[in-house]
Every structure is written in C-alpha cells, then in structure tokens.
Amino acid sequence: MSRRIDIELTSSRADGTWTWRAAGAKQPRGIIEQSLLGSAAKVGDVLRVETEIGLDGIEVIGVVPSKSPHREADRIELIAPRVEKFEGVITTLVPKSEKRGRERRHGSNDDSGPGSRPRPNRRTESRGVVGAARPARATRPERGERVGRPQSAEHPRPEGADVVARRTGKTSRPRPTRLVPKTARRDALLESLPPEQRAVAEQLAIGGLPSVRRALQEQQASDRGAGRPAVGGESIIALAEELLPSIREAVWLDRAEAALERLETISLRDLRATVAGATAKGEESKVLLGRLRTALEDRLTKLRTKWEQEITHALEEGRVLQALRLSAKPPEPSTRLPATLVEPLATAAGQALNATTQPERWISLLEAASISPIRRSIHPAGMPVDPTNAVRLAASAAAGQVPALAKLLGLAIPPPPRPMVAHRPTPAVVDATARDSAPEPATAL
C-alpha cells in the first residue's frame, strides 16, 4: 500500500540519484531517481512524494504535485447607507391581568355603549406620529445610584433590609454554618473491609441497621420479581450487627473532627448533637469528646451570660416589655432565670400593669407576661378603663397563666398546679401481673 510523505533533498550523487530524508529529520533515509524530480531540483527542496515500504526499505515511486494556494472567489461588497443617528423603539408588554383590570375600570374599547369610556391610545400620546423625533434620553446614572420611580406620599417605596438596619441600628443575625462531616475515617474503614462486606458497611454508614433492612427488602423483592432465589437475610443482618460499632465510631470521629475545626461558626444544635451522639470507646475518641464537651459548656455559658445581661440592661433602661419577652426566650430549654432577676422583673412587670397604662400597651405587657417563666409571681397594680372591654377579655383569658389577675377580676384565685405523681398500678392489676408472671407448677409424669 502506497503512502504519501514529505521529504527533503539532501545531496546529489554521481550516478544521477538524490539522497533524501523525511522533512525535519537529521539523517538521510533513502535514494530517489533523477527522472522523478526533473531538472529544476536542488538541495533543500521539500517535496510531497508517494512511497511504498518493502523489505529493502522505503522506495519512492512518484512525486505528487504540490497544491496551489486556494484563491477565494470574487465577492460583491454591499455598502449600507450611512445613518447619522439610530433611534430604537422600546416596547413594554402589559400582562393579561392588568389588561383585564383596565377593561373593567374603563369599560370596553367600543365607546358606543352606555357608561363606556374610550381607552386612551398611549402609543400615539407618548410617541406621537411614527417617525417623529423622540425626546432625549436621560443620562445613565452612576454606579450605586438608586434608579426607579420617584417616591410620593401616596405610594411610598418599600424600605429594604439595609435601609431598615441603618434606621433602627439593628443588623440581621448571621446564620450559623452548617456542619459538613468529613469522610476520611469512614473511607479508610471501608477500604480495609473485604469487597463482600463493603456494601453492607456503606448502608450502615448511611442510615444504620434500618438502612440495611430496607436495602435487603428491596433486593429480595427484586429477586422475586425476576424469578431468582431471594437473598438470605439472617446472615446479612448478623454481619451488619457485627460491623455496626466500628462504623459508628468512624462516622462519629469524622463528625467530631469537622466540629472541632469549626467551633466558632458551628451552630449550637450541631454541636449538641455531636456530643449527644458520641460513641467514644478508644482513647482518641474520649479525648475528642472531652474537647467537644468543654466547647459546648463554654458556648452555653456565654449564651446564658449574654441573655442575663440583656434582661438586666432592659430593666435598667425601663424597657419592661422587652425584658419580659427576653425572659421567655432562653438560649436553651434547660436554662432557668436566675433568682437575682426574678424579683426585679416581677416587680417591674406588676408596676407596668397599672390603671394609667394605655389599653394597647397593657394588653401587650400582659401577653408577654403570660408566656414569661415568672408569670405566677407577677401582681398587676390595676386595669385601665377600656370602653371596648378588650382589656377585661384579655385579662380573663390570661387569668390561668397570671393568677393575680383573678383578684382584679373579682374571681377566686386558682390553686397552684399539683405536682406530677408517677402512675401506680391498682392492686387488681398488680395481682393479675404477678399471677401471669408466676411459673406454672410442675406436674408429675
């Protein structure tokens, strides 16, 4: 089979032949006859030749003429007329809902009916005759400048979050970073297992034993549908129970290491969940668990201190409503209001709930007091006069949470709630349980 290559003439020999080499090579490769080249051949010419490969080497059998440069066909140039200034047309599409609303307000387009009013042709009014010059467009605003419809008293522009934050001095609370566990420990454990156990271990790492049972049921259903024998489940469940402790420890170690790297930004919920789900058995796991518990206690201490300081600051400035609302939002459910704040907050709340307070504020204070943990210690000083009777209705509804309101309403003070007592089974139930659990007497054979 012939093949075309590019060669370069290197020298002319006495017998009338030429030596050649491949274009770009260093040493001569073969010989080519003078009859194939012509009289104009010279050293250094690069030719396109057709060769055949045989036992003796590469033989040149012909010279292929080089391609002439391609000449593009003549083209006709279209010269467009020169336009001094181009004025574009802007079209604003109106939604169908707005069109229907306008038709209901202005009537139909036909002005012959009773009570109808012709719709104005906004295109002719705003743009005039087609082809007329348009008014000059306003200059482009600078970067950062607000662009929009001018604000009026009838249609005020809604304030953005940044405007509200600058006006009130409050900034939005940043969201805590979500904890993304690592996978180094889990991957290392999976690599160390045999291939037949790796699938079970992966399901355990995803969802524990329930995930393994679910995957096993799906596999058995698929086998029955395909007419194959179902996979046995007892051996797989036994293997999963054997691998479960090591998988749990590896997954927890990955989660604990990720939590330690993000202690400053991790949410309190993720930190608490990491500590609660600990499966510390080795020395390394116990060390990590101790560091996480210390970090959790420090975080809770800071939150409790900040919460108590905010309540104290609100009481010092006379903001009783805010102090009551803060007392109802502890940093965690187990946090209790310190005894040093219970009496000052209850006294301030009772003095604020007096007869000279505006009815709207009195009701707001009562709502905050009814959800506060010190609600049973608050004694309102009085009730304001309200022609709408809204104050009395609110006090009647909150009398169960704030028992001192019963005296203002002329009702009997409800007794304090009874302590919860563990349920004790009745004697009949105890006898029946003992009878059922007693061993049966042995019978002689």
User: pLDDT value at position 414?
Assistant: 59
Would you say residue 146 lies in a domain?
Answer: no
Q: Tell me which DSSP letter residue 375 carries.
A: G
Domain assignment of residue 22, given as a range: 3-64
Would you say residue 348 lies in a domain?
Answer: yes
- Whether residue 188 sits in one domain with residue 272: yes
- Whether residue 361 sits in one domain with residue 268: no
- Whether residue 310 sits in one domain with residue 382: yes
- Whether residue 207 sits in one domain with residue 243: yes
- Whether residue 256 sits in one domain with residue 190: yes
Single residue among 64, 98, 115 that ends a domain in this structure: 64
Task: Characterize 99-118 residue by residue with b for buried, 16 or more Cβ atoms within 10 angstroms of its Cβ, and e for exposed.
Answer: eeeeeeeebeeeeeeeeeee
Would you say residue 247 lies in a domain?
Answer: yes
User: pLDDT value at position 102?
Assistant: 60
First-to-last CA distance in the chain? 103
Let me know: does 166 contact 172? Beta carbons within 8 Å.
no
Between vectors from CA 47 to CA 45 and to CA 53, what angle results, nearest 5°?
A: 130
Neighbouring residues of 116: CB distance < 8 A, sequence distance ≥ 6:
107, 108, 110
- Whether residue 322 sits in one domain with residue 253: no
- Report the number of distinct structural domains present in the chain: 3
Residue 285: exposed, middle, or buried by beta-carbon count in 10 A (0-12, 13-18, 19+)? middle
Would you say residue 424 lies in a domain?
Answer: no
User: pLDDT value at position 107?
Assistant: 52
User: pLDDT value at position 348?
Assistant: 92
- Whether residue 189 sits in one domain with residue 273: yes
The structure tokens listed for 421 are 């007592």
Would you say residue 242 lies in a domain?
Answer: yes
Would you say residue 271 lies in a domain?
Answer: yes
Single residue among 64, 85, 102 that ends a domain in this structure: 64
Would you say residue 438 lies in a domain?
Answer: no
- Whether residue 9 sits in one domain with residue 47: yes
SS3 9: strand
Single residue among 64, 88, 104 that ends a domain in this structure: 64
- Whether residue 273 sits in one domain with residue 201: yes
Q: What does the pLDDT profile of the chain (445 residues) look like in tens digits?
A: 677 778 788 888 877 787 878 877 777 678 887 777 777 788 777 878 777 777 667 777 777 776 666 565 667 777 777 766 667 777 777 676 665 666 565 554 444 444 445 554 544 444 444 444 444 444 444 444 444 444 444 444 444 445 444 555 554 556 667 788 888 888 888 888 888 888 888 888 888 888 888 888 888 888 888 888 877 778 888 888 888 888 888 888 888 888 888 888 888 888 888 888 887 677 888 888 888 888 888 888 898 999 999 999 999 999 999 999 999 999 888 888 888 999 999 999 999 999 999 999 999 999 999 999 999 899 999 888 888 889 889 988 888 888 888 888 887 765 666 666 655 555 544 454 444 444 444 433 3
Would you say residue 349 lies in a domain?
Answer: yes
- Whether residue 273 sits in one domain with residue 313: no
- Whether residue 398 sits in one domain with residue 306: yes
- Whether residue 317 sits in one domain with residue 269: no
Find the CATH number of the domain harbouring 51: 2.40.50
